[in-house]
């Protein structure tokens, strides 16, 4: 019996409370694609946990219990898998990499990715990361001097694409300075199309292609061509360097260690009997590009929603950043970066209120019983994140934007606003259950890029606060969540001025 199983009284999925639907359609008509996550959360508030809705004729169970979420994620990939249509559609995209691959195949791939995204590797990569952040600063300085409004989602995605490419693949596309590099625009199409096809009751694209599908297919052809060229260049460089090293030292018996994820994947792929194909390597390259671009950029953008509308908070963050950066425009070293806790706390708190991943979707590989409910193998499960993060039992005053809740006590006093009262002591702030924050997942398949994301958040927000004043260029009330697999802001235009 599953660790989360309880209760001798067993209920079936059909016994769970459900919103009223229509024959054949179920609740499909009540779930607008861009805001369906908000509807799921509203039903959770009305019906409790768990409840069931019907996607056409398919029942989908919805849960908002944090302990159950942890229990399910602990038992991946052996008892649960990700929602099966996600893997099927990503295979069609040529993007079935570490994020979506199931079964035993994920373990060797995860080891490679974890090594590439390890703290020592990121520490060694830090000078390049700082250089890309300086490139972003120059872009923003030009916009500030010209009085141009900055599309923050656009610029942050360019930044994260450059970082991910340089770290994982050893090549920097420099999308921040090369406006006509299309890879960022093409990658931005993938997650919205994934969401659209996962939620489509019929795989119409197998039979007829709409203009949107044809545009996406053309973009993916270009992306995969770019990836294959990247792989070919990397292989050629590895062969050339191996030849040079062999000539320089005939006594050297130890091969050179791979310098990035792509080199490690290609070295493993080219070992006799590896069982790994070029298609699998390409899928992981694309997975890394998409994952590295979307989630971190969105977390930083949501933080700007609060920072750009609060002058006092911005003054405080600027003082915090300048104290760490000194006279530098960008945080000068990895050690100093570790002092920028407030910058990461801004993003963490923003994504508590506006979760980038509003839910995760799973299905059991065998029959399980969860909280007294029998779930046959293959039952669809949505695990909502925001209800637990907005529960006062988990976070005191949960509707308030309060980055200090994520800081240690000495930080509260040290970072007090100039001339203002220091934030209240954490002991009096109420509940703070960090287990309820699941934006990076949990269990064996917790997000391997969480440390890189934290470093990027700290670098970008400290650079912004130390060098610029930021003001939202629209009424904050206009900005709303749009769910395109991840929950992104509908817009994030910001007007920058030099400090």
| Residue 493 backbone dihedrals phi, psi, to 5 degrees | -80, 130
Structure tokens at 396: 């005191």
| Residue 427 backbone dihedrals phi, psi, to 5 degrees | -65, -20
CA distance 270 to 258: 13
CA distance 143 to 189: 26
CA distance 273 to 240: 23
Can you spell out the DSSP letters for 23-68? TTTBTGGG--GGGHHHHHHHHHHHH-SSEEEEETTEEEEEE--HHH
Q: Are 443 and 74 in contact (CB under 8 A)?
A: yes
Cα–Cα separations (whole angstroms), residue 145 to 131, 153, 159: 21, 20, 20
Mention every residue, 6+ apart, whose C-beta is less than 8 A from residue 92.
Answer: none
Cα–Cα separations (whole angstroms), residue 230 to 121, 221, 233: 21, 14, 5
Cα–Cα separations (whole angstroms), residue 344 to 118, 351, 463: 18, 11, 13
CA distance 197 to 194: 5
Asked if residue 247 belongs to a known ligand binding site, the reply is: no
User: Which positions make up the binding site?
Assistant: 447
User: Which positions make up the binding site for heme?
Assistant: 447
């Amino acid at each position: 019996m599953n660790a989360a199983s309880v209760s001798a009284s067993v209920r079936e999925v059909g016994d769970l409370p459900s919103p009223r639907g229509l024959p054949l359609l179920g609740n499909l008509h009540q779930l607008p694609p861009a805001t369906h996550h908000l509807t799921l959360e509203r039903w959770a508030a009305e019906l409790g946990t768990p409840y069931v809705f019907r996607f056409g004729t398919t029942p989908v169970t919805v849960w908002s219990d944090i302990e159950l979420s942890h229990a399910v994620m602990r038992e991946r990939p052996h008892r649960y898998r990700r929602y099966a249509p996600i893997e099927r559609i990503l295979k069609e995209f040529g993007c079935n990499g570490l994020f979506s691959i199931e079964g035993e195949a994920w373990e060797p791939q995860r080891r490679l990715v974890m090594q590439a995204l390890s703290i020592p590797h990121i520490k060694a990569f830090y000078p390049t990361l700082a250089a890309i952040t300086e490139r972003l600063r120059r872009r923003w300085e030009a916009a500030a001097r010209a009085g141009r409004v900055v599309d923050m989602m656009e610029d942050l995605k360019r930044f994260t694409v450059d970082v991910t490419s340089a770290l994982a693949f050893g090549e920097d596309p420099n999308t921040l300075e090369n406006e006509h590099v299309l890879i960022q625009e093409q990658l931005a199409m993938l997650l919205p199309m994934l969401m659209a096809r996962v939620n489509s009751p019929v795989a119409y694209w197998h039979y007829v292609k709409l203009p949107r599908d044809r545009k996406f297919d053309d973009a993916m052809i270009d992306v995969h061509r770019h990836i294959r060229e990247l792989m070919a260049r990397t292989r050629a460089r590895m062969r050339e360097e191996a030849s040079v090293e062999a000539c320089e030292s005939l006594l050297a018996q130890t091969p050179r260690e791979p310098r990035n994820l792509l080199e490690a994947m290609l070295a493993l792929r080219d070992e006799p009997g590896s069982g790994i194909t070029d298609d699998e390597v390409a899928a992981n390259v694309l997975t890394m590009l998409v994952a590295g671009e979307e989630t971190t950029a969105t977390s930083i953008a949501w933080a700007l929603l609060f920072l750009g509308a609060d002058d006092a908070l911005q003054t405080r963050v600027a003082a915090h950043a300048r104290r760490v950066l000194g006279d530098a425009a960008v945080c000068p070293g990895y050690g100093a970066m570790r002092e920028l806790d407030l910058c990461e706390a801004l993003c963490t708190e923003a994504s508590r209120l506006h979760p980038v991943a509003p839910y995760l979707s799973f299905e059991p590989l065998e029959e399980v019983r969860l909280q007294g409910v029998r779930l046959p193998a293959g039952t669809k499960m949505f695990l909502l994140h925001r209800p637990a993060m907005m529960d006062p039992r988990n976070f005191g005053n949960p509707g308030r934007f309060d980055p200090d809740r994520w800081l240690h006590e000495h930080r509260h006093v040290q970072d007090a606003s100039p001339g203002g009262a220091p934030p209240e002591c954490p002991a009096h702030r109420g509940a703070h259950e960090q287990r309820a924050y699941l934006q990076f997942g949990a269990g064996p398949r917790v997000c391997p890029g969480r440390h890189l994301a934290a470093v990027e958040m700290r670098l970008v927000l400290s650079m912004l606060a130390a060098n610029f004043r930021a003001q939202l260029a629209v009424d904050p009330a206009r900005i709303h969540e749009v769910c395109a697999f991840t929950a992104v802001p509908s817009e994030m235009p910001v007007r920058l001025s030099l400090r």
